[in-house]
Chains A and B, each alone.
Chain A
Amino acid sequence: MDNIIVGLAGNPNVGKTTLFNQLTGLHQHVGNWPGKTVEKAEGHLNYNDARIDVIDLPGNYALSAHTMEEIVSRDFIVDENSDVIVNIIDATNLERNLYLTVQMMELGANMVIALNMNKLARKKDIYVDVEKMSDLLGVPVVEIEAIDDTGSEKLLKTVEEASKHPIKSNKKLVYGNELKEHLAELQELIKQDKNLLDVPAIWTAIKLLENDKIVTEKVQNSNNSNKILNETERLKKHLQDVFGESSEEVIANGRYSFIDGLLAESVKKPEVEKTSFSEKVDRIVTNRILGLPIFLVVMYLIFEITFTVGAPFQDLLDEGFGLLGEAVASFFGEGWFTSLIVDGIIGGVGGVLVFLPIIILMFLMISILEDTGYLARAAFVMDKVMHKLVGLHGKAFIPMILGFGCGVPGIMATRTMEHERDRLLTMMILPFMSCSARAPVYALFVAAFFTAYEGPIVFSLYILGIVVAILVAAVLKKTMFKGLSTPFVMELPSYKLPSLKGVILHTWEKVRHFIRKAGTIILLTSIIIWILSSVPMGVEYGSQESVTGQIGTAIAPIFEPIGFGEWQPAVALIFGVVAKEVVVSTFGSLFGLDEDNEDGIAGAVSKLFTPLTAYSFMVFVLLYVPCFAAIGTVKQETNSWKWPAVMFAVTTITAYIVSFIVYQGGMLLGFA
């Protein structure tokens, strides 16, 4: 059986994912590109006698080395043994879509074009002469409709054909005469070095003129490098003189001129475009007066649906695992084995599964927002706030909002952000949004110390979290993320009905991924904590004699300067890393009280803390290491241990500093 490897390439929002789902259905899985944070979706299907492996490349506007995503796509086309590239283009947005096409033609990719959204185009009175276009490009063009399977048979046939008889896509690509001649000279020099000929020489020539870092470095290692680079410099100057523009502009212009010529001959469209449906919707949705209220309502709905609708399911799962634990306990009786099963394994698995309802709901919400096109509008409306406050892109807002419910879906929602570094920075400050698992801790302490000011005290913690996030973002941007600029260039795609199939497939994939990746980490750490809390043999679970208790006792003095140097808070904080609400039940069990006996726990806690140290403790709980679930999710999303480690360090250090200021400052001011 033949094996054909197909890469799907195209601009964002052209229907790439929809086509991918259409082609591969459930035969797909999502992972990461090796060593990258960029998501990689792979799938396969059988066609005639061939197995076709389909790889969904990141959505790109260009193939420069501008972002990680562009590099991934480019490397795939250049290096990997892909057989055919299917370039999906949107018939309603040809001019810009073809810019990427032209760049792939420069690479001489064995390419087939899938022209999508034809029905929409006809509604807008745009008519494409497919044969003519195919002829002018020297690349097959197949009309498809990604949401149903119109054209998919023909597309697959063309792909199969192309895999047998590769298409040289750079044959018909032409630039203006001036540029062509100069490129030819540079090409000759490049051709003299065989090591540079793994890609078409013309491509290398163009990339040199575009000041592409990666290609320039590669050429620097060539034995012909002097000649080539000198000629490049000379050409750049020459083009500047002739055109009055930098070589990069000349090339972009050259590509667009080629596209203009192509479209003039193959596409008929109205002189003046009708006001589109999207424009009409945008008049309301991004309206000066209505824009913000609409945005707030949408955010409120997402938050409410994710967490309020999710909560009963979470409770149900919680109860279910509780009952299961009791059943196991009554079957095996007391003992370490029962404890392992109940506290370690059932607790751990339960700890993974309770996240499912909110993750599923969050993905449904976000996918709908993303696919309809509103997500981009939300970012448009909120960008100013995010940019001023944390120097981030408007799209960082939604993950942050979700963070108030739970960091796990928040971290996963950062995947809507295109640039890796923005995304990482957003993840790093997300834990400072006070998630709902911290609420029980606040409830315990305000009940014990601040009965008169419960509301304001809790509110102050939420605000503190936001302020700290802003400050930490500012510090990170001066250090780890130095030079991070977050320009706000974002396409506002036209509004569309989302396809249910796509939304569901996508959600299912991500949930599976979460269980497999983050789930393993959560489960493992739960078991490790269980072991540490149960040894040496015979100690009561989690007591001061257990290893956890001993570690807590050993590190307790570290917390002296921030107000709570006893061993109990230290142990509670260790358990709090499993999940923050566990802090409360840990205090309960350390004092030998039932975890439902809230008054009892509050009473016991009030002997250990003063109002000032209680506040300092709450601040620490707010800011220190988020739970293992969040850490595991960061590992899963970034595909490396570096970022979870950074998060661990950043949050712990920040928590210590802020609590220190609170406690020592409070003492100076005479609080106790």
Chain B
Amino acid sequence: MVSRKLNELHPGEEGTILSFSNQGDVGLKRHLLGMGFVKGSKIKVEKVAPLGDPIKLQLKGYSICLRKDEAKNIEVES
């Protein structure tokens, strides 16, 4: 079990959300909390876009994409 930032996960890797830092856009954080980015949620990096950013994630049974810059505020355990 190691803790990493979400943007550091490779496609296919899975983890559990540990914490969500307050750095970055708070409005965005609020929005993401609603989208299921809460502590304990399982999350999987499914794909990286052809140009290297954004990334496609799977959580709570659906797919969502996020830029790496936004994903780096999320700490996951994998």
A positions within 8 Å CB-CB of B: 61-62, 64, 66, 92-96, 99, 210, 245-246, 248-249, 252-253, 256, 273, 278-279, 282, 286-289, 291-292, 380-381, 383-385, 387, 485, 487-494
Do the beta carbons of A384 and B38 come within 8 Å of each other?
Answer: no
Q: Are B30 and A210 in contact (CB under 8 A)?
A: yes
- The answer on a CB contact under 8 Å between B56 and A380 is yes
**B31–A489 touching, CB < 8 Å:** yes
Contacts of A62 in B (CB 8 A): 30-31, 34
Which residue among A282, A288, A493 has the maximum number of chain B CB atoms within 10 Å of its CB?
A: A288
For A67, give the chain B residue with the smallest CB separation. Answer: B31
Residue of A nearest to B29 (CB): A248
**In the bound complex, CA of A205 to CA of B43 (Å):** 31
Q: Which residues of B contact A93 (CB under 8 A)?
A: 60-62
Q: How many A-B residue pairs have CB under 8 A?
A: 119
CB neighbours (8 Å) of B29 from chain A are: 248
Chain A residue contacts of B34, Cβ below 8 A: 61-62, 64, 99, 252
With A95-B36, A387-B67: A485-B25 Cβ-Cβ less than 8 Å: yes
Do A252 and B60 touch (CB < 8 A)? no
Given contacts A95-B61, A384-B53, A491-B64, contact A249 B33 (CB under 8 A): yes
Contacts of B66 in A (CB 8 A): 488-489
Pairwise interchain contact B38-A256, C-beta atoms closer than 8 A: yes
B33 / chain A contacts, CB cutoff of 8 Å: 248-249, 252
Q: Looking at the assembled complex, report how far the CB atom of A242 sits from the nearest CB atom of chain B, in whole angstroms.
A: 14
CB distance from A662 to the nearest CB of B (A): 33
A179 CA to B42 CA in the complex, in Å? Answer: 24
Inter-chain CA distance A488–B28, complex, in Å, is 9
Within 8 A of A (CB), among B8-39: 19-20, 22, 25, 27-36, 38-39
Cross-chain contact A291 with B39 (CB below 8 angstroms): no
A249 partner residues in chain B, CB cutoff 8 A:
20, 33, 38-39
Q: Is the CB of A253 within 8 A of B31?
A: no
Docked pose: A282 CA to B56 CA in angstroms: 10
> Whose C-beta in chain B lies nearest to the C-beta of A289?
B50
Interface residues of B (CB under 8 A from A): 19-20, 22, 25, 27-36, 38-41, 46-54, 56, 60-67, 70
A302 to chain B, nearest CB (A): 19
Shortest beta-carbon distance from A531 to chain B in Å? 49
Contact of A96 among B27, B40, B50, B60 (CB under 8 A): B60
Distance between A218 CB and nearest chain B CB, rounded to angstroms:
18
Which residues on the A side are within 8 Å of B30 (C-beta)? 62, 64, 66, 210, 248
**Contact present for A92 and B61 (CB under 8 Å):** yes
A198 to B31, CA, bound (A): 26
Q: Are B35 and A487 in contact (CB under 8 A)?
A: no
Complex formed: what's the CA distance from A99 to B32 in Å? 12
Contact B46 A279 (CB under 8 A): yes
Q: Which 5 A-B pairs have the closest CB atoms?
A: A62-B34, A291-B50, A252-B33, A384-B51, A492-B63
Q: Are A488 and B54 in contact (CB under 8 A)?
A: yes
Given A92-B61, A380-B65, A487-B67, check contact A252 B38 (CB 8 Å): yes
Q: How far is the CA of A287 from the CA of B52 in the complex (A)?
A: 11
Question: Are B53's CB and A383's CB within 8 A?
Answer: yes
Tell me if B54 and A380 are in contact (CB < 8 A): yes
**CA A278 to CA B54, docked complex, whole Å:** 18
14 additional A-B residue pairs with CB within 8 Å, beyond A62-B31, A248-B33, A291-B49: A61-B31, A64-B30, A64-B34, A66-B31, A92-B61, A93-B61, A96-B36, A256-B41, A278-B63, A383-B53, A487-B25, A488-B54, A490-B65, A494-B63
For the complex, what is the distance from the CA of A492 to the CA of B30, rounded to whole Å?
19
> Contact between B62 and A383 (Cβ–Cβ < 8 Å)?
no
Contact in complex: B49, A380 (CB < 8 Å)? yes
Q: In the complex, A385 Cα to B51 Cα: how many Å?
A: 8
On whether the beta carbons of B39 and A381 are closer than 8 Å, the reply is no
In whole angstroms, how far apart are the Cα atoms of A256 and B36 in the complex? 8
Q: In this complex, what residue of A is CB-closest to B64?
A: A491
The answer on a CB contact under 8 Å between A61 and B22 is no
* Contact between chains at A492 and B50 (CB < 8 Å): no
Contact of A492 among B22, B32, B61, B64 (CB under 8 A): B64
User: Least Cβ distance of B54 to chain A in Å?
Assistant: 5
In the assembled complex, 12 residue pairs joining A and B whose CB atoms fall closer than 8 Å, in A order, are A61-B31, A92-B61, A96-B36, A96-B62, A248-B33, A252-B34, A253-B40, A278-B63, A292-B50, A380-B54, A488-B67, A491-B63
Q: How far is the CA of A483 from the CA of B54 in the complex (A)?
A: 21
Q: A64 to chain B: which residues have CB within 8 Å?
A: 30-31, 34
Inter-chain contact A95/B65, CB cutoff 8 Å: no
> Which A residues are in CB contact (< 8 Å) with B56?
282, 286, 380, 492
A385→B50 CA distance, assembly (Å):
11
Residue on A with the closest CB to B37? Answer: A252
B60 touches A485 (CB 8 A): no
Question: Which chain A positions have C-beta within 8 A of B49?
Answer: 286, 291, 380-381, 383-384
What B residues does A492 contact at CB under 8 A?
56, 63-65
With A and B bound together, what is the CA distance between A249 and B34 in angstroms?
Answer: 9
In the bound complex, CA of A650 to CA of B25 (Å): 29
Shortest CB-to-CB span from B4 to chain A, Å, is 19
- Give the CA-CA distance A380 to B48 in the complex, in Å: 9
Residues of B with C-beta under 8 A to A381: 49-51
With a cutoff of 8 Å between Cβ atoms, the chain B residues found around residue A253 in the complex are 38-40
